[in-house]
Amino acid sequence: MTQPTSVALVDADRDWSEACQTDFMRCPDFTVVGLAASAKEGVELYRRRRPDVMLVDPSIDGMAGVAAIAAICRKPSSACVVALTNVDSASMIVAALRAGASGYLLKACVADELTEGVHQAVGGHMPLSAGARLALVDAIRAGRDSAVSMATSFLPTRREAELIRWIAVGLTNKEIGEHMHVSEGSVKQYLNHIANKLGVRSRSQVLARSVRLNLVDLDVLPGDGDGRVQPR
């Protein structure tokens, strides 16, 4: 029998955390192993319990939540952290993702959307609210010029470049494997190899760094007919 995914929540609003805990506990796929009400408590909770997923509000204690995400994700940690907050500003989204968050979701999402987002993060995907995705793309485009000189540090192979473009489209590892005619496991290996080359950890960081280095053009993506594929 598959073990449930262990989850811990870091949020200053205890009532909200307990309500969220109740939603997770209604789903047999999850077990909540702890709640923390501050950034410091969140880091200690992760080190003590090592849950599969940490849900962290990056705005907690000012922006101490971002520092907590960075501390949890610091190598050699294999942590999976998803930012979960009411704040949808571009600066907060970019800060959380740069700190190592594997995704960025808003508290306004319904319970099914939250649990699906956690499933995606555990599976190596990048759950992003619609607003977070747009803000990330805008921030990447705005910062592209300052990073062009770094591009020579990573020259992707043809297959690596293709995988990066499919990530930019928003496909899952399984869907990418279907397009590239390889197994989902091979896609994960490619992605890990690219992440190591780029010196990043998460899928979102692979995309961010790739676009900043002009390794992928968001205006020219693979697809059918008009050059675009709608994520499924």
What tens digit of pLDDT does each residue of 32-61 get? Answer: 999 999 999 999 999 999 999 999 999 998
Which of 44, 51, 37 shows the shortest CA–CA distance to 8?
A: 51
Comma-separated ranges of CATH 1.10.10.10 domains in the chain:
147-212
* C-alpha separations of 79 from 2, 73, 117, 191, 195 in Å: 20, 6, 16, 17, 15
Cα separation of 11 and 216, whole Å?
36
Q: Which CATH superfamily is domain 5-139 in?
A: Response regulator (3.40.50.2300)
| Under-70 pLDDT residues of the chain | 1, 75-77, 139-155, 212, 216-232
DSSP states of 124-148 as a string? T---B-HHHHHHHHHHHHHTHHHHG
Comma-separated ranges of CATH 3.40.50.2300 domains in the chain:
5-139
Query: pTM of the entire structure?
Result: 0.67
* pLDDT (0 to 100) of residue 53: 95
Just give the CATH number of 147-212: 1.10.10.10
* pLDDT (0 to 100) of residue 232: 39
Angle at 228 between CA 207 and CA 153, to 5 degrees: 30
> How many other C-beta atoms are found inside a 10 Å radius of the C-beta of residue 112?
10
